[in-house]
Amino acid sequence: MKTIRLGTKSAEVNYLNELLQKLGYPVLVSNYFSPETDTAVRDFQSNHSLVVDGVVGIKTWSKLLEIADVGYASNYKLLSEQDLIDFANFHNLELAIVKAVNEVESGGKGFLVDGRPKILFEGHVFWRELEKRSVNCSNYISNDTQNILYQNYTKKYYVGGKGEYNRLEKAADINPDALFREAAYSSASWGLYQIMGFNAPSLGYASIDEFVEKMYRNEGEHLKAFGLFLEQNNLIRILKNKNWAEFALRYNGKGYKANRYDEKLMKAYAKYSA
């Protein structure tokens, strides 16, 4: 693990926040080492006879993993080199292209420390999914549901980590009718590549339940779903041509330039092709 501190933005910080949340600290699970994360780290260091400096290096990482009791019996769920080779062969892509896209576009880790696939619940998508099922969403608006059911996109209700499952289940339980559960699970993004559940039918899954069951299996299944998504949206051809800007635009949206996704893909490809 890299040494990280206040202000760092990285996948390691996301994992740190997840561990801290598991230990009961009220932190947002994100890739930003926020002042709240710094406070939690310092409290953890103080409680476990470590140097209280807010810096998460090898000693703090070791104690965090020990106390959080993170076993890696779930290593079989992680993406392997062979998974990427098989993906490249199946889609007739250079392995360097596949590795570049995996590095830039994956979330770094597809599973939480408790073994469940990583998710992010989207309340505005839940609104849309319920409307598609002829549900009048206005009937379900209240102070209790404001963090799971809203008409317009917002980040304000994200909690990350296991907290997203609390939001998902809360949405699924708004009404005992099975269509509410179906709509809720369709309104979360799943796994290593955060594929939205509502894509399941168009990607060839028999139901949202089959899709979710596959997401629980391993990151190899996450990669397969990602490949199906790329095929469905005609992105494989763009990758074969190494048109990084076009791929980034169509996969990441209009903000790709600000986040330099095309440059990151190009640099990652150069690294792996070398």
**Residue 259: its pLDDT value, please?**
87
pTM: 0.80
The amino acid occupying position 148 is I
Residue 189 has pLDDT above 50, yes or no: yes
Percent of residues, the chain, with pLDDT higher than 90 = 84
Go through 209-222 and write b for each residue having 16 or more CB atoms within 10 A of its CB, e for each that does not: eebbebbeebbbbb
**Residue 74: its pLDDT value, please?**
55
Neighbours of 259 (CB within 10 A): 13
**Residue 69: its pLDDT value, please?**
78
Percent of residues, the chain, with pLDDT higher than 70 = 98
Q: Which architecture, in CATH terms, is 11-70?
A: Orthogonal Bundle (1.10)
Residue 113 has pLDDT above 90, yes or no: no
The amino acid occupying position 2 is K
Closest listed residue to residue 87, CA positions, set 236, 270, 243: 236
Question: pLDDT tens across 92-112, in order?
Answer: 999 999 999 999 998 778 888
Taking residues 78-105, report their average pLDDT: 94
Taking residues 248-256, report their average pLDDT: 91
DSSP state of 73: G
Q: Across all residues in the chain, what is the average pLDDT?
A: 94
